[in-house]
Amino acid sequence: MSGKRSILREYVEAALWALVLTLFLRAFVIQAFRIPSESMLDTLLVGDFLFVNKFEYGPKIPFTHIRFPGLRQPRRGDVIVFQFPQDPSKDFIKRCIGTGGQTIEIHDKQVSIDGVRLREPYAVHKDPTLRPPGYDFRDNFGPLTVPAGELFMMGDNRDNSNDGRYWGTLKMDLVKGHAMFLYWSWDGEKAWPRWNRIFQPIR
């Protein structure tokens, strides 16, 4: 009987250690994320599943505002998962367009940083119409200087993205991590995996 209890205890301890390790990795190293919307087309598709590197920018201690030092700071072009500033219970994913001290301006859908037009091969415009200044911020925005320690985020699907043009800059405190690669992709319309996207890096 004691032998059976010993084996059971070993299984319970192994399960508890596995749970602790999983929670540790999720909190400080890596987390899974699913793409629910079209705001990052064509870089990310609805039904893509990806891993987010929390360690790169420095992981936060859960339920606090304390962040450990990271390997580097976010930079322009990074695809980042973060808590939505207007509702931190929701996670968003967008591309970093500007960092602290840089001035963002959009004129007829063309983004400029500090007066220099960006070359953005990842950006798509699916609506050919132009919305004039004063109509809304979609096609004409700024200039806005990003505060120190904050980021300006935009979706790659520029004509259909709820991003920094509408809610402003992103505080580093809300940043979760850097999107790394896809581990699964499901085409809901065809009810079939997108095999060619699996394990693809996110750029």
Q: Which domains does the chain have, with CATH numbers?
A: 31-197 (2.10.109.10)
Q: Is 185 a catalytic residue?
A: no
> Beta partners for 95?
79, 154
Give the predicted TM-score (pTM) of the model: 0.91
| Greater model confidence, 185 or 14 | 185
CA–CA gap between residue 162 and residue 93 (Å, rounded): 10
pLDDT given at position 21: 67
C-beta of residue 122 within 8 angstroms of C-beta of residue 156: yes
pLDDT given at position 68: 92
- Three-state SS for 167? helix
**pLDDT confidence band for 17 (50 / 70 / 90):** confident
Q: Is 94 a catalytic residue?
A: yes
pLDDT given at position 113: 98
The separation between CA 8 and the C-alpha centre of its own chain, rounded to angstroms, equals: 42
pLDDT given at position 2: 58
Give the single-character DSSP code of 122: T
**pLDDT confidence band for 3 (50 / 70 / 90):** low
pLDDT of 6 strictly over 90: no
pLDDT given at position 1: 56
C-beta of residue 152 within 8 angstroms of C-beta of residue 97: yes
Tens of pLDDT, residue by residue over 128-164, are 999 999 889 999 999 999 999 999 999 999 999 999 9
Please report, for residues 68, 81, 88, 109, 149, the alpha-carbon distance to residue 173 in angstroms, rounded to integers and kept in the order given.
Answer: 11, 12, 11, 29, 9
pLDDT given at position 12: 78
**Sign of the Cα pseudo-torsion (69, 35, 120, 135, in order):** negative
pLDDT given at position 49: 98
Catalytic residue among 54, 60, 94, 176: 94
- Which strand (E) or helix (H) includes residue 27? helix 2-28
Catalytic residue among 2, 4, 6, 39: 39
